[in-house]
Amino acid sequence: MPEVSVLVEGGKAAAGATLGAALGPLGVNVGQVVQKINEQTKQFGGMRVPVVIKVDANTRAFTLEVGRPPVAALLLKEAGKEKGSGKPKGEVLGDVSMDAVRRIADAKGSDLFGRSVEEKVNQVIGTCTSMGLTVDGQDPRVLLKSRVAARGA
């Protein structure tokens, strides 16, 4: 079963060069695919979302697997920013709340590698470090050290 993987802006997929060129030879109705992608990704407006389109070569029927936006995109949305800092160690781009970090860790679920919720939260905090974001006004590196020390105590 052929499949096509694309990264689309939530709710704004278009039958342009990327999707048209990939799906046209498979014989599926590109307009229908785009409509379905937009329906299933509209809640991620403004973020890029991974989508896998699987096509049955015999019937030309298709199924969609919509992924979740990357942690970085979810953090940027929470911080109200377009992109991360070019100098994350020296420039603070914005701040996110610990509640937002927990929501993102929960939303990403099995996409993150931690065994526990706390390990997944630490991963999200680590992403804040590389993007120039603070968490509740704290440097994420300091926050991670205190969280690790508290767990080991």
Quick one: fold of 71-152?
A: Arc Repressor Mutant, subunit A (1.10.10)
From 3.30.590.10, 1.20.1740.10, 3.30.1550.10, 3.40.640.10, which CATH number describes the 3-66 domain?
3.30.1550.10
Q: Which residues of the chain have pLDDT under 70?
A: 152-153
Q: Which pLDDT does position 152 carry in this prediction?
A: 67
Q: Which pLDDT does position 38 carry in this prediction?
A: 93
Q: Where are the domains of the chain?
A: 3-66, 71-152
Which phi-psi region, left, alpha or beta, contains residue 80 (left: φ > 0; alpha: ψ -120 to 50)? left
Q: Which pLDDT does position 44 carry in this prediction?
A: 84
A 10 A CB-CB count for 60 gives 11
For residue 125, with 0-12 CB atoms within 10 Å meaning exposed, 13-18 middle and 19 or more buried, which class applies? buried
Q: Which pLDDT does position 105 carry in this prediction?
A: 92
